[in-house]
């Protein structure tokens, strides 16, 4: 079997899954304004931005241009269930893009609803963002459940998609794929971290002292 997923994409996948679980647990436990939820939210925002950048400047199979299916290819797969390519099948590719879009929306509404951002907007706007944050998590959980169920189904049928995301190899993958190295991966990660922190700081002048104090307070409207 040849390599199909680079180590950076695989690390992103499992780190994102762990952070998502942590965010769900802390959020549903009523600690949505706590340090853990906020820190995990910033971390998953950095990862999501890195994934977007990696989708344009990463390894061959990580690029959106590689796995974004044509309409005819998607229609054929839905009709026959056959796909002779490698990497994500057409339906899985659509799910990846959908889940990434939902995750970005969830992160955005979470930031605007949180006390991490010392917002100068009205409380009504923050409350509206909080409402959308609560609604979107249900949709995101449903999409995540469908993704996990599909992965388990493919694994049981012999299409080792879960194992491929662990060891990075796939039977259908051709030799000679281009994989980017550690320098580019960590450079884009650093860029993502700086951009997320600058964005949060610009939106609300993030005060890092509140992280050490463990106390939060939204500015009065």
Q: List, for residues 55-65, the tens digit of each pLDDT value.
A: 999 999 999 99
DSSP secondary structure of 10-63: HHHHHHHHHHHHHHHHHHHTT-TTSHHHHHHHHHHHHHHHHHHHHHHHS-GGGS
Closest CA to 44 of 103, 94, 90, 4: 103
Mean pLDDT of the 32-57 span: 94
Residue 1 CB neighbour total at 10 angstroms: 13
Under 8 Å between Cβ of 111 and 41: yes
- The pLDDT confidence band at residue 200, using thresholds 50, 70 and 90, is confident
Using one digit for the tens of pLDDT, what is the confidence trace for 98-110?
Answer: 999 999 999 999 9
Using one digit for the tens of pLDDT, what is the confidence trace for 5-19?
Answer: 999 999 999 999 999
- The pLDDT confidence band at residue 123, using thresholds 50, 70 and 90, is low
Question: Does 216 score more than 60 pLDDT?
Answer: no
pTM over 0.75: yes
- The pLDDT confidence band at residue 120, using thresholds 50, 70 and 90, is very low
Closest CA to 153 of 142, 144, 140, 162: 162
The superfamily CATH assigns to domain 2-213 is: Transmembrane di-heme cytochromes, Chain C (1.20.950.20)
Query: Which residues are within 8 A (CB) of 81 and not within 5 positions of it... i.e. 6 or more apart?
Result: none
**Domain ranges for the chain:** 2-213
**Lowest mean pLDDT, pick from 4-8, 42-46, 65-69, 164-168:** 65-69
Place of tokens 């952070």: 19
Could you tell me which residue, 158 or 187, shows the higher pLDDT?
187
Under 8 Å between Cβ of 90 and 77: yes
Question: Does 113 score more than 80 pLDDT?
Answer: yes
DSSP character at residue 109: H
């Amino acid at each position: 079997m040849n390599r199909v997923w680079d180590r950076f994409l695989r690390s992103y996948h499992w780190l994102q899954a762990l952070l998502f679980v942590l965010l769900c647990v802390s959020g549903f436990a009523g600690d949505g304004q706590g340090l853990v939820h906020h820190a995990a939210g910033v971390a998953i925002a950095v990862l999501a931005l890195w994934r977007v950048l990696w989708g344009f400047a990463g390894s061959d199979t990580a690029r959106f241009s590689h796995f974004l299916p044509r309409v005819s290819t998607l229609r054929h797969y839905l009709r026959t269930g056959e796909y002779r390519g490698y990497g994500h099948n057409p339906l899985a590719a659509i799910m990846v893009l959908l889940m990434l879009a939902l995750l970005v929306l969830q992160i955005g509404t979470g930031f605007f609803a949180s006390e991490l951002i010392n917002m100068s907007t009205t409380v009504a706007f923050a409350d509206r963002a909080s409402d959308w944050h609560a609604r979107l998590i249900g949709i995101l959980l449903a999409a995540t459940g469908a993704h996990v169920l599909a992965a388990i189904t493919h694994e049981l049928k012999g299409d080792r998609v879960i194992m491929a995301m662990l060891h990075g190899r796939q039977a259908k993958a051709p030799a000679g794929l281009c994989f980017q190295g550690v320098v580019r991966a960590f450079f884009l990660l650093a860029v993502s971290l700086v951009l997320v922190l600058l964005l949060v700081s610009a939106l609300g002048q993030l005060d890092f002292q509140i992280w050490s104090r463990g106390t939060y307070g939204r500015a009065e409207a």
